């Protein structure tokens, strides 16, 4: 498969790039992709919800009323889940574990599937190189407007941690920036378009094909 290559001015170059077959021509297995995406969503889930059980609720050190003779039901503590303000039964707590294990081969296969789908769906944009001498957002906005501005959100995968380039891109609306070696299926699916450089594709091969 060949891809059109753009230069730093957003113009198409005469020569096309041949994409690695083992990365960009992988058939999609929906069941495998679903498993990997669900595991990644679960592994990113934070333990935010927290309720108190009856041992954590304040008060209730004394029996509300005597056991017999009042005509009322028997109760031992106002911290009981039966009482308003009492503990919560089977509520969420900080001990919950949402982690789902997926092996490395499955994660890489799912990544290649999404990369292949992006390439086949004309949602992959390859640049000869991307550089920024100073952290300026305006030149990058103009560049991306020429290439894919009206085609939805985008993820920029850089070959290295270029601070000036990252600062130039990170404030652009609907555009996210990452390193090629950190790409995963979930992040790719959350953005419609993918932007790579020639060096980023080399990093993909070196990182994920062994």
Average pLDDT over residues 7-27: 89
pLDDT at 89: 93
User: Residue 160: which region, alpha, beta or left (left: phi > 0; alpha: psi -120 to 50)?
Assistant: beta
Residue 59 has a pLDDT of: 87
Write out pLDDT tens, residues 136-167: 999 898 888 888 777 788 999 999 888 999 99
**Per residue, what are the HEC states of 169-182?**
HCCCCCEEEEEHHH
- pLDDT(5) > 80: yes
Query: For tokens 């995406």, what's the residue?
Result: 37
Q: Which residue has the higher pLDDT, 210 or 14?
A: 14
Region of poorest pLDDT, from 12-16, 69-73, 106-110, 175-179? 12-16
Domains and CATH numbers, the chain: 2-45+98-208 (3.40.1370.10), 48-97 (no CATH)
């Amino acid at each position: 498969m060949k891809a059109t290559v753009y230069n730093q001015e957003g113009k198409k170059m005469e020569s096309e790039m041949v994409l690695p077959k083992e990365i960009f021509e992988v058939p999609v297995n929906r069941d495998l992709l679903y498993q990997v995406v669900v595991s990644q969503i679960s592994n990113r889930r934070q333990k935010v919800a927290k309720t108190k059980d009856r041992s954590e609720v304040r008060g209730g050190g004394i029996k509300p009323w005597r056991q017999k003779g009042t005509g009322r039901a028997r109760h031992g503590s106002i911290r009981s889940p039966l009482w308003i303000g009492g503990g919560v039964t089977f509520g969420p707590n900080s001990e919950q574990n949402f982690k789902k294990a997926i092996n490395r081969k499955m994660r890489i296969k799912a990544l290649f599937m999404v990369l292949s789908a992006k390439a086949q769906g004309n949602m992959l944009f390859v640049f000869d190189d991307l550089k920024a001498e100073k952290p300026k957002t305006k030149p990058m906005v103009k560049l991306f407007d020429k290439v894919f501005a009206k085609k939805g959100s985008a993820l920029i995968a850089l070959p290295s941690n270029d601070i000036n380039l990252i600062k130039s891109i990170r404030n652009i609306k609907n555009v996210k920036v990452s390193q090629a070696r950190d790409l995963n299926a979930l992040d790719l699916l959350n953005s419609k378009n993918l932007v790579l450089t020639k060096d980023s594709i080399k990093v993909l091969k070196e990182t994920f094909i062994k």
